[in-house]
Structure 1
Amino acid sequence: MYSWENQMLNNQVTKAVRLAIAFGAASTAAFSASTIAAEEGVEKVERIQVTGSRIKRVDLEGASPVEVITTAEFEQQGRISVADALRNVTSNSFGSFVPSSGSSAQSQSTVSLLGAGSDRTLVLLDGKRMAGSPSLGGASANLSSIPMAAVERIEILKDGASAVYGSDAIAGVINIILKKDYEGASFDVQFGRPSEEGADTKQMSLSFGVNSDKGNITFVYDHQEQGAIFDKDRSYTSASMEDINGDGMVSIYDETVGISYYGATILGPDGFKSSSKCDDLTANQPGFVGTLDQGSLLGGIGGGEVCGFAYANVSANMASTNRDSIMTSASYELTDDIELYARGMFSRNDSFGRFAPPAAKWENMSADNEHNPYDTEATGYFRWYQIGNRDGEVTDYQQDYTIGLTGVAGDSIEWEVSYHKASLDYRSAGRYYLSYSGLAYNEQNGIDLGSEEGVNNLRSTTYTEQQNNFDHYFAGIGFALGELAGGEIQHYFGGEYYEQSFDSKYDAQSEAGLIGGSAGNSASGERDTTALFYEISLPILENLVVSAAYRYDDYSDFGSKGTPSIKAEYRPMDDLLFRASYSKGFRAPSLSELLGATAFSATDATDYVACRDQGIATSDCKERQYDNLQESNNNLGPEESTYLNLGVVYSGIENFSVKVDYFELEVEDVIADITVQSLINIEYGGNLDEFMSQYPGVKLERDDSGAVIGDVITRSDNGGFMSRKGFDIDLSYKLDTSFGEFNLKNVTTWITDAGEDVYFGGPTQNFIGDSGTPEWRSQFVVNYAIDNFAVSWTADVIADTAEDSYLDTKDGNPENFRQKFENHNPTYVVHNLNVKYFTEKVGTFTLGARNLFEKGVVLDDAGNWVNDSLYNAGHIGREVFAGYSISF
């Protein structure tokens, strides 16, 4: 092991590099590390480990592109959390999840590199796999659980890495490096207030650390709050209705926003009719909006009218979050050659969401019911206003512990053994749902539904407990053996063993289908995985290094998989690097995908078949909701991928560097949903019966009028295809002047191909330009510092996307189906400003604004909000924030 003096000196070098990175010169810093060491008179700089390889190296830049971003940079950009920071990284192209009220995962935030899906982006914590959220089926990591104050930097690997890390590392890897050697104490506080109502933020953190000649200990406490946003507080999400076509009647969904036909609507032999009490409810009960025309949404069931309810008058669309986290890490030199390290992290995140009173069917409504306009039994589509608004309260507990030993032997051998345990316990309570048992009791005993007794009988509380327990054992050894013209051959050999236990328990009434306005079924399962892996780095010449890796994973439930990779880096001169990599990857099906119980969902889809039968063009066909039973599939196999990267890095111009990488990702046997929309599209082409015979259990049926009847049964299966092709471009420049220092940085991810199936089993199409699928994202950062002032300006830019998307059916042959994109929205730009004033004695003061020029959301021609996750900054509005920090 290197002496403590050398390690301290290397820490100085590392801090110098980090300082350069923090001021927007990541590439320059990467090439200057060796220069700094030379000026210090150090003969050998300690090798560092960079995400994407377990073999340590001197250079930060290697065969795979890695973007390194420190928390100092994120703070300069005005980001409020790890999730917010990664949501704005350009390679997180589209598809991230934000806390959404009403969702079973309303407390969750995810990252999706290249828009390939959060379950195809591996998230590491200090180089070790982060346990998946039980609310996301154990398949994706919840970024909301990570304390921002505990993060030292984030390394983003833009390459496939299953040969190193195993499953899920298909589109890339996010490695979150936590603080370990902090010395001193610091206190930070910040408050933010948006110009629009809701989403206020509060943050506070405490950090301290102690170092000695034998080790160190670091402690961090982090608190973050963000308020909810209610639909009524935004013009584009609040309830509205207008007779746009001037026919004297407002059509549900066609001419409304935030209004549902689940109000007081009755379905009988002649189709939909308003309840006989609709006018009375409209006059006396908030939320009811009267009788509306059925419109095209419910077309195919027969003519008629509905009694609407404005759910958006009370619902929240963005959930509130309130998180407290503690992280502590320590290291201690047991001997000159062996070091003990440990880390513990605990996080609690409380989330609140609200939605309108439960919307649920009233089956077998008697002919003499006061609401029933028919003289026979009917089905009511009711908003159970008597019960009150539904509140969703979610509490996430996460514990994460690691303990390990590292050591050296001889001149070149380094080894590590560790044990990592994560326990995630997520609990969700839903207040004021409909109890069908209580409804039946009231009807049987003649109890008035609006009475105190009747309401109490109707009310039910749902409860869900979800756990994911993860145990991880790791052992690895790196060593030099053999020599080539360029130096010693480096090897790394290791093994891992994982145990995962997933359990999702719903309350018995929900499982029995006796709750209106909610659904869910319990699921549980276990798996263990054994993996062996090997890496080799071959310095063919002093300026040419070829490396290779192979990993073998054996799963207890679905089988085994081997994945190789090969990489090369060539430096014809010190300032120029050419690199290339080719790797295979895979994603194992999650336990929830394999073992989840059948669950009910109200699924949106566009019925092109019904529209065709009614003479409605596909471009005018509207979405509606379908009762959908989603089944699991215990016969799923792994997805398989290939990733190719070709790049160049150049820093031959003083204070300027450029990185350009071309990537190709292809994923086969994609685990995709056979959705309601897929079944409709297949039916449109005349192949539904044949398809359902190939996939037994999948079902979509219609009655004689052409209306979809009963529950549509869907599931997931292997068979989809996905591709991503494009370029990553990274430019940085440093300018010293007599009036201050400027650091400029621009990162752009340009995707030329986002190929996916139009529907399950259908043709593949490039979806670039579709709503929520921008061709490119770019981020411009300018940092300016002079004396005690520092100013940071960031512009997040998203390419234009289509406002309208519909199925172009052409000749009716499903092999020719394509999504057609029309009416593009303009490029979307959000500016952020951050000003800091430093003092030596009283601390640092911060004042800034997120979304400085109050860029709004993207709306379609009808005034509807387009893609809530991609344009979330506009939804929040301009947020002015102020902060204070002090260090000792």
Structure 2
Amino acid sequence: MKQKTLLATAIAAALVLQTWSVAAQDAAPAQADQAKSLETVTVTGSRIRSVDVETSQPIFTMDRAAIQATGLTNVNDILARMPSAGTPDITPQDTLSSGADVGGRYVNIRNLGSQRTLVLVNGKRWSTSLSGLTDLSTIPVSMIDRIDILKDGASSIYGSDAIGGVVNIITKEKFEGSEANVYYGQNGKGDGQTQNYDFTWGHSTEKNSIIIGASYQNTDPMWNSKRSDTSYAQGPRHPNAGLGLGPWGRVVDPTTGDQYVINHGSTATNDINNYHLYDPTSTADKYNTQKDMTFRAGSKLKNLFVQERYKLTDNITLHGAATYSTRDTSSQLAGYPFQSGAADPAILISGQNAYNPFPGQDVEFFRRTVEMPRVTDSNSKLAHVDLGVDGYFQFLGHDWSWDAGFTFDQNKIKQVTTGNIYLPNARAALGPTTIINGQVACASAADRAAGCVPWNILAGPGGTPQSVWNYVNYVGTDRQTSYTSDWSANVSGGLFDLPAGTVNLAVGVEHRGEKGNFRPDAADSQGLTTNLASAPTSGAYNTNEAYAELDVPLLRDLPGAQELGLNIASRYSHYSNFGSTTNNKYSFRWRPFADLLVRGTWAQGFRAPTISDLYGGTGQSFETFLDPCDSKYGAAATSSSVAQRCAAAGVPANYRQVDQTGAQITSTNGGQTPVAFLSGSNANLKPETSITRTLGLVYSPHQVEGLDFTVDYYNVYVKNIISSVLAQDIVDFCYIQGDSNFCNNFHRSGTATSNLVAGSIDQLNEGLSNLGTLKTEGYDVGIHYRLPETSFGRFRIASDSTYLNKYEIVSGPGATAKTPVGFMYGEDGLYRLRSNLQVDWDYREFGASWTVRYYSGLKDNCYTDTIECSSPSYTNPWWGTYGMSQKGSVAFNDAQFRYTAPWKGVFTVGVNNIFNKKGPYYYSVTTSGTGSSPYNPAFDIDRYFYVSYNQKF
């Protein structure tokens, strides 16, 4: 009912304003009977085609020349260069991440998260996953004409997700002839080779325009072992830090509890004399897992694209586009750190197993299966169809445009993971054995019939035959499918004329349906493998929406007001799952004199919960956190109230938290839990909401032709954030904040186990909730100057910067506000200043560019309180009571040279990070485990060379 009311109000307003216009001024001159054939223009941030929103809103545009100057072939890598871009939620470097979205490429504007950045193609939503992420790798660079980035809230125009900003990718509309591109790039260490080939053909007639394109890209993986920066868990200066469980079998004496490790190189595991006592403080029996892992996943991208426009009449045009993309990615983790506690009940080496050094007694074990690394291959197939019709007519004496269309997306993802262990087979292989024909065999005839092979698991590398690996290895397959169907209709045009110009109105309706499912591997879901377990996801919702946008020019060509105008937009959305929301936007533009434009906006925004948020199954993850009850590094060590709450919960006195290796934690960084925690969805979630404020100016002095200066202030406030209540927040809320509601989200063990001490948290549920707020504010500054042409060529200078003034996070009620501007915060580098400076030169058939990318310094964790710790006494209430390490700023330099041959061929050669600059090593970057820089590690970790050739026919 509200939707009809909004539309009725807009129509009534148009009639009233038209009546007022007729009474207030002379009628407009008679127009020609036939409406003009107008050119369709995709304008980002507005549905009104006659408003100069390119300057009235903070829009950053990259044309095709700017895209090619980066030397990059993935849209996400190109967008990551923007100073306003943050680290995406998932990157190709997140080797430890899991889920169907791993392998995709995403964008994050204003450090607000990839889910709060809306991605459009030609003004329409592109496919999103069940988690609300848009995979940019499915959009080939060869089909792009330009990219508009609206750094403003735009939910009143586009609906959900347009909080941090909008990325609108505009494809080529007309193309005559043929074009082929060949590209090859390689990192300085000889890996990460990228090959890209694309071909485009187009033809236009008076009535018809068609474009067909195909592209193929192959990017080889980059390996941690190739470079010192990534070869060790804690960096090249501390090669022995962060080492984990090794491939040499470790066994627990069932009588004394002492742990023994097989002597390296020995395979005679049934004799305890071949073992030595395990020393957890020594690195001798630990292993550097980084050398077995990919730093960046390899990928193959294929795309077919066809687009056609047909002029049905002078004023009506049919259009259609279809694209089919496939993405294959592959990443590798080190072998699984297998131990008795990996299953429930625990798997033990049987006392009747021939390889047991304690005959007659079942024993616990530890062993990393380095011979069987965990490899995840992901295949994504996206089909996108866009059909529509648009046209023009005259109404109220003005030109009006209209369009109606339908888009459909289907995305299918298949993930195949090898290298995990099938626990029933491992249990059988470590069970009782017998001797058959002089060979050790599984004692159970049924197990032998099923292929059982005895496993000498305590033997080091080389002591396990391939037949055993084949028997215990498990190949798991997960599948995800998502569908989006979208119907829309829009009409826009002039209502009446005022002395300052035409009052314009745009109205439209949209119906969108989202549905999808995720089917995890059945054995993984049942906990029968060492892979993280997850439950199925299935759900759907739909939304009906209507919007109206009104643009009113108030003053023009007056002293102090060369131009003054207002723009008002409102969008009503009704979701089948949570109900209705209305979001408004108000903006103004004021030109006090010809050279200066002042602009500002106030906008409401929202992000609707995704299918995964609402209907996702329970999943598992190993979390890194600091237990407040730890008697040395936790809050209990300094707070009597926390210590009392811990004691009341049954935590033993002098309790010490242990990490995955069973060792006590060594700093307030905490440790990764030895047991997997659970996370899940919430069907009662409400949308996130936001308020965005911007104020800026555009100055183009007429005295200096070609010079443009822009500065924009932004302030974004997001509340009711949809997020997992993370393990750290849950335990802090329970013990530090004293909120007993969160104490029910976890359980502590009453007794010690093989990998936990008494009092350890052995169960924890990280559920989703509308909890917390986020505030950020800063400034965008741009200086662009196209110098007058000289005898030695044309020069263009472009400088774009973002200054981050505030970034404040409140995770929940009573929580201390986190203000990590200038810090390495998890995976996000919240730089105070990011800046790009580019100088471009053209002279006849030659051209060149030089780009400098600057990142200010960040505060990071100390390695220890005495090593790499510039401020040992530094105290931060939300980070911990330990020191701080100040990491310096860094600048990367890129160079490119191009030559246009007489036969329309263009040769390009370039080097990114030409001086092979190494960014700082960050100890707080935990997801990748490498401490790699968060800038764009695929290219900044090394010098990167590339060559390309473009041929037009």
TM-score by length of 2: 0.80
Match of 1:727 among 763, 774, 779: 779
**CA contact 2:248–2:264 (8 Å) conserved in 1:** no
The amino acid across from 1:511 in the alignment is S
Distance 1:241 1:428, change over 3 A: closer
**CA contact 1:98–1:110 (8 Å) conserved in 2:** yes
Counterpart for residue 142 of structure 2: 149
Counterpart for residue 795 of structure 1: 852
Match of 2:509 among 486, 495, 510: 495
Counterpart for residue 762 of structure 1: 815
**CA contact 2:191–2:220 (8 Å) conserved in 1:** yes
Cα shift at 1:392: 1.3
The amino acid across from 1:365 in the alignment is L
Distance 1:451 1:361 in 2: 19
**CA contact 2:293–2:332 (8 Å) conserved in 1:** yes
Distance 2:502 2:280 in 1: 76
List per-residue Cα deviations over 1:770-818 (Å, max 9, x = no partner): 112211211111101112110011111111111217999xxxxx99545
The amino acid across from 2:572 in the alignment is Y
Counterpart for residue 213 of structure 1: 206
Counterpart for residue 670 of structure 1: 721
Larger Rg: 2
Counterpart for residue 886 of structure 1: 951
**CA contact 2:248–2:261 (8 Å) conserved in 1:** no
**CA contact 1:849–1:880 (8 Å) conserved in 2:** yes
Counterpart for residue 293 of structure 2: 315
Cα shift at 1:680: 3.6
Distance 1:635 1:377 in 2: 48
Match of 1:782 among 830, 836, 839: 839
**CA contact 1:394–1:428 (8 Å) conserved in 2:** yes
Matches within 5 A, 1:426-445: 426-442=413-429, 443=431, 445=442
Distance 2:309 2:243 in 1: 55
**CA contact 1:338–1:406 (8 Å) conserved in 2:** yes
Counterpart for residue 124 of structure 2: 128
**CA contact 2:733–2:742 (8 Å) conserved in 1:** no
Counterpart for residue 107 of structure 1: 103
**CA contact 1:365–1:378 (8 Å) conserved in 2:** yes
**CA contact 1:531–1:551 (8 Å) conserved in 2:** yes
List per-residue Cα deviations over 1:472-495 (Å, max 9, x = no partner): 101111122233331221111111
**CA contact 2:835–2:854 (8 Å) conserved in 1:** yes
Matched, 1:398 2:382: yes
The amino acid across from 1:663 in the alignment is Y
List per-residue Cα deviations over 1:179-200 (Å, max 9, x = no partner): 1211121111111121113211
Q: CA RMSD in A?
A: 3.3
Match of 1:547 among 554, 562, 567: 567
Cα shift at 1:873: 4.9
Question: Which sections of structure 1, spanning at least 5 residues, go unmatched?
Answer: 1-42, 245-252, 296-303, 809-813
Counterpart for residue 247 of structure 1: none
The amino acid across from 2:422 in the alignment is S
Counterpart for residue 854 of structure 1: 916
Distance 2:301 2:785 in 1: 37
**CA contact 2:349–2:364 (8 Å) conserved in 1:** no
Distance 1:717 1:648, change over 3 A: same
Matched, 1:691 2:669: no
Moved more, 233-242 or 197-206: 233-242
Match of 1:747 among 796, 800, 804: 800
The amino acid across from 2:680 in the alignment is E
Match of 2:609 among 589, 613, 634: 589
List per-residue Cα deviations over 1:75-110 (Å, max 9, x = no partner): 112222111100111111344532134533331111
Aligned positions, number: 814
The amino acid across from 1:482 in the alignment is F
Matches within 5 A, 1:226-375: 226-239=219-232, 255-257=240-242, 259-260=244-245, 264-265=249-250, 274-277=259-262, 279=264, 293-294=279-280, 307-362=285-340, 363-366=346-349, 368=351
Distance 1:261 1:608 in 2: 30
Cα shift at 1:758: 6.0
**CA contact 1:275–1:373 (8 Å) conserved in 2:** no
Distance 2:778 2:81 in 1: 18
**CA contact 1:266–1:272 (8 Å) conserved in 2:** no
List per-residue Cα deviations over 1:488-520 (Å, max 9, x = no partner): 211111111111111111121011110114433
Moved more, 704-713 or 527-536: 704-713
Distance 2:256 2:729 in 1: 26
Distance 1:553 1:282, change over 3 A: farther
The amino acid across from 1:826 in the alignment is G
Counterpart for residue 730 of structure 2: 679
The amino acid across from 1:393 in the alignment is D
SS of residue matched to 2:629 = helix
Distance 1:774 1:806, change over 3 A: farther
List per-residue Cα deviations over 1:422-448 (Å, max 9, x = no partner): 111111111232101212333264441
Match of 1:869 among 901, 909, 934: 934
Counterpart for residue 373 of structure 2: 389
Moved more, 517-526 or 747-756: 517-526
Distance 1:59 1:268 in 2: 78
Distance 1:197 1:608, change over 3 A: farther
SS of residue matched to 2:146 = strand
The amino acid across from 1:50 in the alignment is V
Matched, 1:505 2:505: no
Counterpart for residue 632 of structure 1: 681
Distance 2:552 2:254 in 1: 77
**CA contact 1:268–1:377 (8 Å) conserved in 2:** no
Distance 2:546 2:940 in 1: 47
SS of residue matched to 2:721 = strand
Counterpart for residue 409 of structure 1: 393
Cα shift at 1:121: 0.6
Moved more, 579-588 or 45-54: 45-54
Distance 2:766 2:338 in 1: 21
Cα shift at 1:281: 6.2
Distance 1:366 1:207, change over 3 A: closer
Cα shift at 1:172: 0.7
**CA contact 1:274–1:306 (8 Å) conserved in 2:** no
SS of residue matched to 1:196 = coil
Matched, 1:448 2:454: yes
Distance 2:595 2:761 in 1: 67
Match of 1:483 among 497, 500, 506: 497
Question: Which sections of structure 2, spanning at least 5 residues, go unmatched?
Answer: 1-35, 270-274, 341-345, 433-441, 444-452, 456-463, 557-562, 638-653, 657-663, 866-874
Counterpart for residue 33 of structure 2: none
Counterpart for residue 462 of structure 1: 476
Distance 1:746 1:454 in 2: 60
Counterpart for residue 82 of structure 1: 75
Cα shift at 1:684: 5.0
The amino acid across from 2:793 in the alignment is G
Work out the percentage of aligned pairs sharing the same amino acid.
Answer: 24
Cα shift at 1:822: 2.0
Cα shift at 1:573: 2.2
Counterpart for residue 7 of structure 1: none
**CA contact 1:482–1:489 (8 Å) conserved in 2:** yes
**CA contact 1:131–1:422 (8 Å) conserved in 2:** yes
Cα shift at 1:622: 4.3
TM-score by length of 1: 0.85
Cα shift at 1:68: 0.8
* Greater percentage in strand: 1
Distance 1:103 1:860, change over 3 A: closer
Moved more, 671-680 or 260-269: 260-269
Counterpart for residue 250 of structure 1: none
**CA contact 2:589–2:598 (8 Å) conserved in 1:** yes
List per-residue Cα deviations over 1:201-246 (Å, max 9, x = no partner): 11111111111111210111111121111121121322589999xx
Distance 1:44 1:213, change over 3 A: closer
